[in-house]
């Protein structure tokens, strides 16, 4: 865990809830809120890069809330990145439902959904589905770690420096 006392002086202690919300919404921004600008920037670039690398490889159906719920849950932990991808995915489902003459994509059978996705050349199949979802899902899980760190740093604000486990061994 990084130093909870950044160099910048603050009048009020930071709120753990705000730190959590910011850290979820935009990865790294929770640390920026705590005054750790460079750390936040590194986290933002790395997590955003990992998430969008997955979407770049897997396409619009990398985030699939209908068929891949566990991956979807992990992807949503990346905040705005996940939400944007979810919006894009939702547009695809709505478009497919319109094409199939139905009001909701959920009523289409799995076979029909896959056929429509394949027709548009956006169906995500093995092995790329594993790789693309692993990248974007791991990005979300990494952000979960950042959220915990930001919340704990906010809670420990003003209570001294917390040394990470094993920090003194390799100095």
Partner 1 sequence: MSDWTIFVNPMTLRLDNILWLLPPLCLSVAIVYKTIRTPRLARVPMEVFLLLVYMSGGLLALGIVLWAIQEFWL
Asked whether position 163 contacts partner 1 by CB under 8 A, the answer is yes
Residue numbers 79-108 binding partner 1 by CB under 8 A: none
Beta carbon nearer to partner 1, 19 or 43: 43
Report how many helices (DSSP H) and strands (DSSP E) the chain contains, helices first.
7, 0
CA of 152: how far to CAs of 24, 45, 138, in Å?
Answer: 14, 22, 21
Segment 111 to 140, residues that bind partner 1, using CB under 8 A:
121-125, 127-132, 134-135, 138-139
Residue (of 11, 38, 20) closest to 158 by Cα position: 11
Structure tokens at 161: 């420096």
155 binds partner 1 (CB under 8 A): no
Asked if 72 and 65 count as a contact pair (C-beta separation under 8 A), the reply is yes
Shortest distance in whole angstroms from residue 107 CB to partner 1: 25
Q: Which of 20, 60, 66, 155 binds partner 1 (CB under 8 A)?
A: 60
Report the alpha-carbon distance of residue 144 to residue 148 in Å, rounded. 6
| Contact footprint for partner 1 (CB under 8 A) | 1-3, 38-39, 42-43, 46-47, 49-50, 52-53, 55-62, 121-125, 127-132, 134-135, 138-139, 142, 145-146, 149, 161, 163-164, 167
């Amino acid at each position: 865990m990084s130093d909870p006392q950044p160099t910048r002086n603050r009048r009020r202690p930071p709120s753990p809830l705000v730190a959590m919300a910011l850290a979820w919404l935009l990865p790294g921004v929770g640390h920026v809120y705590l005054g750790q600008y460079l750390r936040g920037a590194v986290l933002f670039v790395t997590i955003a890069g990992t998430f969008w690398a997955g979407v770049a490889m897997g396409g619009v159906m990398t985030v699939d809330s209908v068929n891949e719920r566990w991956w979807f849950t992990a992807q949503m932990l990346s905040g705005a990145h996940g939400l944007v991808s979810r919006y894009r995915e939702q547009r695809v489902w709505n478009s497919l439902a319109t094409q199939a003459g139905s009001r909701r994509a959920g009523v289409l059978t799995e076979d029909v959904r896959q056929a429509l996705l394949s027709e548009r050349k956006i169906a995500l199949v093995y092995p790329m589905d594993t790789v693309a979802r692993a990248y974007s899902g791991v990005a979300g899980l990494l952000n979960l770690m950042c959220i915990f760190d930001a919340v704990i740093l906010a809670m420990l604000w003003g209570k001294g420096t917390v040394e990470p486990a094993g920090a003194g061994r390799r100095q």
